[in-house]
Every structure is written in C-alpha cells, then in structure tokens.
Amino acid sequence: MPPTTPLARRRTNPYIRLFRTPGTLAFTLGNLVARLPMGMFSVSAVLMIAGSRGSYALAGAVTATGLAATALVAPWTARLVDRHGQARVAVPATAIAVLGSLALLLCVHAGAPDWTLFASYAATATTPNTGGMSRARWAHLHRGPSAEDAAALHTANSFEQAVDELCFLLGPVAAAFLCSALFPEAGTLAGAVLLMSGVLLFAAQRATEPPVTPRTARPKSPARTRGFVPLLAVFLATGAVFGALEVVTIAYADRLGHRSAAGGVLALQAAGSCVAGLVYGSVRPARGVPGRFLACVAAMSVLMCLPLLAARTGSLGLLAAALLCAGAATAPTMVTGMTLVQRLTPRGQLNEGMTLAVTAILGGIALGSATGGQVIEQAGAAMGYLVPVCAATLALAVCAAGRGRYSAPPRR
C-alpha cells in the first residue's frame, strides 16, 4: 500500500483523521455517556419536585441552589483533577454527586422536609466537568506547535461543542419522557446511572489521560494569566445570551398558546448550533484565533437580532426559523473561545481553566434568565428578545476591548 501523502491527508474527512489516534474513540464514547445526563438533571429535578410537592417555585429554587453550588465547587474539583489526575479525582467526585442525586430522589419520594432537597441537590456540585476533561485530553494529544496539531485541535474542539449541543438537545427530551412515561423519579435515576457508568468508562482509558505536572510551589489560578479575565467576561455575556433565549422563548410560546411547542423551538436553536459546530470544525481556519474569536462574536451579535425581528410578527414558525439561524454563530463562538482558553491556561491546569470558563457561562445563564424574566414582566415577551441582543453586543464590546490582551503569547 502506498504511503499516505499530505494531499491525501487533507482530502480525508478531518473527523475521520481525528479518531485515528489510538484510544480517542474509547474515551469519547465513555465521555458521551457521562455527558448526556448534564441535560437531564435539571429538567428531571423540576418535574420530580413539582409533581410531588406541587410547587414550581420550590423546584426552581432547588435547581438554582444546585447551580450556585456548582459555580463555587467546580473550579476546586477541576484543580484537584489537574493536581492528582482525572481518574483519581473524577471517580470519587462523581460518586459523591450520584449519592446526592439518589438522596434527592429518596427525599422527594419519602416526603422529607424541603431543606433536605436543597442539601441533597447541593451535593451534586462535585460532578466533574466531563466536557473539560475530554477537551484536556485532546489538547494533550495535539499539544505540538505544528499546523497539523493546531488544525486537529480546532476540529476536536468543534466536535466537543457539537456533543455539548447534542446532549442538551436530547437530555431534556429523554428526561421528560422518562418522568412522564415511567415514574417521576425515573429521569433522575437514569441520569445518575449514566453519569457513574460513563465516568467509569472514561476514567478507565488511562493511555490518553494527560500526565500530572509536578509542582514545587502552590500554583496560581489561571484567571491571573494575562488576558484570561476579559475572556471570562465574554463567556459570562455569552451565557446571558443562552439564559435569556431560553426563558424568553418559553414565555413567548406560552403567550401565543403554544407552550408545549417551546421545547421544539429551542431544540432548533441547539440543532443549528450543533450543525454549525461540525461544519466549522471541518474547515481549516485561515486567520489567527483572536481574530476568529472577534469575528464569531460579531456574527453572533448580528444574528441575535433575527429572533427580535421575528418575534414582532407574532409567528412562532418565523421565530423558530430565526432561532435556527441565530444558533449558527453560537457554536463557532464557543469553539474558538475554548481554543483561546487552552492557549492561555498554563500547562497542567487545563481542567481548571476550562471549568472557570464553564462557570462563567453558568453565571451568565442565571443572569440572563433573571434579566429576561424581568423584561418579560415589564415589556412583554416579544421585547424580551432585546436581552440576548444586548448581551451579545456586550460580549462583542468586551471581546474587542480585550483582544490585545489575549492576542499576545501568555506569560507562563
């Protein structure tokens, strides 16, 4: 058989080339099983608690508490992963989180006091950032300075973002089906089993696990790296786009008398982002990462105007089409942003750096949801789409202002 030429390698699908590296398919499959429950837990908890206690306010407060606890605990869990290795930390941390989910299930089923629900769900905050651990493995495998490694890492980050979108597309649907077709606790139970099984499968793939970097002194946080804080600010504003879109779309569909269709409309936005992420990963970028990031955020800020314009027509169909188009810019923005995080984070702290980015996104989602709800109450659901437009514009302004800081090589 003749040797593979550079031209033949370029013609091969980049995703096929990506998974030719030994061990990559195995850790990806395990991580996919572990990541699917991330889109299930919140919906399952709301359906389970609201169905048992008859209070969506209580269900929302419990899930919000879990989100806040995760924002506090996740960076520390990621630091332990970097310091002691993925397998040694991820498995016990996941076991604690699974016990928290099972405790929540038992407390709801047994009619325990409300405070036990808050305590149980807060314990799930030790769930490791499975997506971040997978991205850290890709960064370790393609850490070389060559153009081939840079292109492979770009494709890997695009694939990981598409997986995120797919999990948050399928997870809520699976949770709603299990809780309604079987019993209210089925979604939480299935999510716990999938999470533990997936992490065990992922951790068993030791050949691709990044090595632990020995440290002689206490490491400083990646947030102290030049350019990292402006990057986190962009992620915070981008998270506000996601949070506002979700609550405003649900309210808009409800006002039109089609509340049951809200999930499908939001799924189109996730589908558009998923497809755009896969296409973006198959193209070798021609410009530098900071320039691409600014272009992606600018595209996102422009496309977020489409749902606002469509909402003024009163047509749910037009809104769905607008959200499908608007989603095309979110995945490339996240892919390029995560590439910058990998570039700026000191070696040996990748899990912590990416978890800080995810934490900023979660904080933005909470802020966007709250702000969107207030605008809906004051000005109506259609005007609520001003919130993601403003959040995307803010992300663009911060990105443009901070570009000079993360364009320069980071100080190690």
pTM equals: 0.75
| CA–CA gap between residue 89 and residue 263 (Å, rounded) | 35
Residue 7 pLDDT exceeds 80: no
Packing angle of the helix pair 56-84, 41-53 (nearest 10 deg): 150
Q: How far is CA 15 from CA 11, 20, 99, 144, 152, in A?
A: 11, 9, 36, 19, 9
Q: Summarize pLDDT for 123-180 with one digit per residue, the tens.
A: 888 888 888 888 888 887 877 666 677 778 778 877 887 787 777 777 777 777 787 7
Q: In 3D, which of 381, 373, 370 has the Cα closest to residue 68? A: 370
Collapsed DSSP state (helix, strand, coil) of residue 188: helix
Q: Summarize pLDDT for 115-130 with one digit per residue, the tens.
A: 888 888 888 888 888 8
How many degrees, rounded to 5, is the angle at CA 45 between CA 42 and CA 50? 125
Which of 1-15, 351-365, 386-400 is predicted with the least confidence, judged by mean pLDDT?
1-15
- Cβ within 8 Å of residue 39, ≥6 positions away: 167, 168, 169, 170, 171, 172, 174, 175
Which helix (H) or strand (E) segment holds residue 336: the answer is helix 330-344
Residue 40 pLDDT exceeds 50: yes
pLDDT (0 to 100) of residue 393: 93
Q: In 3D, which of 202, 174, 68 has the Cα closest to residue 122? A: 68
Q: What are the tokens at 163?
A: 């997986």
| CA–CA gap between residue 311 and residue 145 (Å, rounded) | 47
Q: In 3D, which of 128, 114, 129 has the Cα closest to residue 65? A: 114
Residue 412 pLDDT exceeds 60: no
Confidence of residue 231 (pLDDT cuts 50, 70, 90): confident
Confidence of residue 1 (pLDDT cuts 50, 70, 90): very low
Collapsed DSSP state (helix, strand, coil) of residue 250: helix
